[in-house]
Amino acid sequence: MVIGLMGAGAWVAVIGFLDDHGHIAARWRLLAHFMGAAWLLAWLPELPRLAIAGTSFDLGLIGYLLAALMLVWLLNLYNFMDGIDGIASVEAITVCAGGALLYALLGMPMLAAPPLLLAGAVAGFLVWNFPPARIFMGDAGSGFLGVVLGGLALQAAWVAPQLLWAWLILLGVFVLDATFTLLRRLMRGDKVYEAHRSHAYQYASRQYGAHLPVTMAVLAINILWLLPWACVVALGYIDGLLALLIAYLPLALLAVRFNAGQLEKA
């Protein structure tokens, strides 16, 4: 699994680096992203079963397709959400630390090493990326984090099926904002591969005139709201899908409040 994570992460980082320093057409970037996802999935012992309402399902070939789509969407949404100082770093640290806590709660602390190592590496980067930032991760860093976090979520689901929902809950701020914004732009007929500044977090940072309040709000939401829901899912107290819907509801309201996907005014 380590080879799968590092191989996919390195491949996506190289593609992002080349795009940062030149230009790669969107269709070729997307093809490269699916190649990275395929490499990661090839190193899974088997595809995790999907747990819903106390029943687990083996999705077979369709499951691999859905997993590849999830990985590609996560690495791209992580790039979309890396638009203000510190937000992508804070998200990665809190998600990884939360994932490590879930393993500890289930009595498997040794499995916490990979997410804790990633959290530690990103914490070192955050020293210079915290608002006001002096360095930025670019497509290379954000794409790497997105695909590796997706891989860690799949690894967790392979250990215990309910952990997939727990990790998706931990990633809720990024998943909800990016997905809500994308769907709204698609419905309006926008060219979704073109750069824009219409995510909820971007509108919020402009409203408050600074990046720091928004980044700190993400930190607070992750720790005080999303982490408790992830924990109760991991411990089996509530169905994962139901908990995800409950956890995402106020995030959707915030997305509406801050005009996620709304056409930018000239």
Q: How many beta carbons lie within 10 A of that of residue 56, not counting itself?
A: 11
Which token pair is 223? 């720790």
Q: Per residue in 49-84, pLDDT tens? A: 899 988 888 999 999 999 999 999 999 999 999 999
Sole residue written with tokens 């909800």: 176
Q: Per residue in 150-183, pLDDT tens? A: 999 999 999 999 999 999 999 999 999 999 999 9
Nearest to 75 by CA among 23, 121, 24, 30: 30
Is 266 a residue whose pLDDT tops 70?
no
Is 97 a residue whose pLDDT tops 70?
yes
Residue 263: which pLDDT band, with cuts at 50, 70 and 90? confident
Which token pair is 256? 């509406």
The Cα 166–Cα 203 span in angstroms is: 28
Sole residue written with tokens 């860093």: 141
- pLDDT for position 32: 97
Q: Per residue in 178-217, pLDDT tens? A: 999 999 999 988 887 787 899 999 999 999 999 999 999 9
The Cα 179–Cα 2 span in angstroms is: 28
Question: Helices 172-188 and 60-81 sit at what angle, rounded to 10 degrees?
Answer: 90
Q: Is 54 left (phi over 0), alpha (psi -120 to 50) or beta?
A: left
Which pTM was predicted?
0.96
The Cα 89–Cα 138 span in angstroms is: 12
Measure Cα distances from 27 to 4, 9, 75, 222, 258 in Å: 23, 19, 15, 33, 31
Which token pair is 62? 């369709």
Q: What are phi and psi of 51, to 5 degrees?
A: -100, 120
What number of residues does the chain have? 266
Strand locations in 12-91, DSSP E? 50-52, 55-57
Q: Side-chain half-sphere of 6: how many Cα atoms within 13 Å?
A: 5
